[in-house]
C-alpha cells in the first residue's frame, strides 16, 4: 500500500513537469498538423483535445478500465516487466519473422536508449502515428508503433510489444477522444507507472485447445538463460509466437 501511494505521488509530480523531449520537437510535430502538450494539468486532464495532440504517456488521463485477465494485457505486461518471450509450441517449419521485423528489432537494439521512442495511439489515429514515426526517424530516432490487426503493423506478438515498451527511452501518446477510451493506451500508461497488475507466468492465460489455433507459452529468462515457462495455451494470442 505504501509503495502504491509513492508510485501515485510520483506520477502526479512527474505529470506536472515539462517534457523536454517534446518541447524540443514541438516545431517538427506542429509542422505535421499535430498539437503538442508537454505536461498534464488543468483542463488538459478533464477534456480531450479538439484535434490529435502528442503528449507524454505518463499521467495520461484515460477513462478506460483495463481488464487484467485479458490475454493481450497479460502478455504485454510480461514483456514490459520481464525478460520474456512468447514461445510457439509445435511451430510450423520455416516459421521466422519477416525481414522488415528483424531489421526494426536490430535497429532498435543498436540505438541508444535515449533514441528509442514508443508511441501509444489508437487505430483512429494510425495515420498520424505513421507521420510522426517517419518524421522522428528522419531525426535519427528508432520508433516503435503498433496496432493489432493493422496490415501495416509488423507482426510482433504481445510479449515483444511489451519488450519494446520496456526498452524505450521515451513514451509518448497521441491524445484524442478515442485514445482516452482505449484499453490498450490505458494499459500502456499503467505499465509505465508500475500500476498494471503483474501476474505470474504460471497463472493460466485465457485460451483453450481450440481446433486449428496455434499454441504457445510464456517463458522468462535471466541474461538470455531460460528460467521457467508458464502453461501451454492456444488461441489467437499465440499468432506470431516464436520458435524455441
Instruction: Tell me what percent of the residues of the chain surpass a pLDDT of 70.
Output: 80
Mean pLDDT computed over 128-143:
95
Q: Is residue 117 part of a domain?
A: yes
Q: Is residue 213 part of a domain?
A: no
Predicted confidence band at 207 (pLDDT cuts at 50, 70, 90)? low
Mean pLDDT computed over 61-82:
87
Q: Is residue 235 part of a domain?
A: no
Q: How many CA atoms lie within 13 A of 236 on its CB side?
A: 5
Q: Is residue 164 part of a domain?
A: yes
Q: Decide if 162 contacts 147 (C-beta within 8 A).
A: no
At residue 86, the pLDDT reads 94
Q: Is residue 39 part of a domain?
A: yes
At residue 202, the pLDDT reads 60
The region that residue 149 occupies, defined by phi over 0 for left and psi between -120 and 50 for alpha, beta otherwise, is left
Predicted confidence band at 5 (pLDDT cuts at 50, 70, 90)? very low
Q: 3-class SS at 228?
A: strand
Q: How far is residue 160's CA from residue 182's CA, in Å, rounded to a whole number? A: 20
Q: Which residues constitute the domain of residue 132?
A: 2-77+95-196
Q: 3-class SS at 225?
A: strand
Query: Cell triple for residue 85?
Result: 518471450
What is the pTM assigned to this prediction? 0.84
At residue 11, the pLDDT reads 46
Q: How far is residue 141's CA from residue 99's CA, in Å, rounded to a whole number? A: 20
Q: Is residue 24 part of a domain?
A: yes
At residue 7, the pLDDT reads 43
Domain total for the chain? 1
pLDDT of 99 over the 50 cut: yes
224 versus 69: which is more confidently predicted?
A: 224
Mean pLDDT computed over 44-58:
91
Q: Counting beta carbons within 10 angstroms of the beta carbon of residue 48, is it exposed (0 to 12), middle (13 to 18) or buried (19 or more)?
A: middle
At residue 15, the pLDDT reads 46
Query: Cell triple for residue 244?
Result: 524455441
pLDDT of 56 over the 50 cut: yes
Q: Is residue 215 part of a domain?
A: no
Instruction: Tell me what percent of the residues of the chain surpass a pLDDT of 90.
Output: 55
Task: Report pLDDT digits (tens) over 21-47.
Answer: 999 999 999 999 999 999 998 777 888
237 versus 196: which is more confidently predicted?
A: 237
Q: Is residue 90 part of a domain?
A: no
146 versus 128: which is more confidently predicted?
A: 128
pLDDT of 57 over the 80 cut: yes
Task: Report pLDDT digits (tens) over 65-74.
Answer: 888 778 888 8
Most confident of 190-199, 201-210, 220-229: 220-229
Amino acid at each position: 500500500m505504501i509503495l502504491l501511494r509513492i508510485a501515485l505521488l510520483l506520477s502526479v509530480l512527474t505529470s506536472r513537469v515539462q517534457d523536454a523531449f517534446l518541447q524540443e520537437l514541438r516545431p517538427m510535430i506542429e509542422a505535421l498538423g499535430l498539437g503538442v502538450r508537454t505536461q498534464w494539468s488543468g483542463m488538459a486532464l478533464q477534456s480531450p483535445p479538439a484535434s490529435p495532440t502528442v503528449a507524454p504517456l505518463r499521467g495520461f488521463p484515460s477513462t478506460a478500465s483495463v481488464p487484467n485477465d485479458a490475454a493481450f494485457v497479460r502478455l504485454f505486461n510480461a514483456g514490459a516487466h520481464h525478460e520474456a518471450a512468447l514461445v510457439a509450441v509445435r511451430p510450423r517449419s520455416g516459421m521466422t519473422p519477416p525481414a522488415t521485423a528483424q531489421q526494426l528489432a536490430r535497429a532498435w537494439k543498436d540505438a541508444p536508449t535515449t533514441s528509442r521512442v514508443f508511441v501509444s495511439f489508437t487505430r483512429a489515429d494510425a495515420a498520424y502515428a505513421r507521420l510522426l514515426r517517419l518524421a522522428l526517424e528522419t531525426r535519427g530516432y528508432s520508433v516503435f508503433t503498433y496496432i493489432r490487426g493493422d496490415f501495416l503493423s509488423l507482426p510482433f506478438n504481445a510479449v515483444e510489444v511489451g519488450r519494446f515498451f520496456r526498452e524505450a527511452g521515451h513514451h509518448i501518446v497521441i491524445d484524442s477522444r478515442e485514445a482516452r477510451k482505449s484499453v490498450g493506451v490505458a494499459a500502456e500508461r499503467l505499465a509505465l507507472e508500475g500500476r498494471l497488475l503483474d501476474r505470474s507466468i504460471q497463472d493460466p492465460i485465457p485460451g483453450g485447445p481450440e481446433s486449428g489455433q496455434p499454441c504457445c507459452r510464456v517463458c522468462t529468462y535471466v541474461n538470455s538463460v531460460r528460467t521457467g515457462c508458464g502453461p501451454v495455451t492456444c488461441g489467437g494470442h499465440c499468432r506470431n509466437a516464436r520458435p524455441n
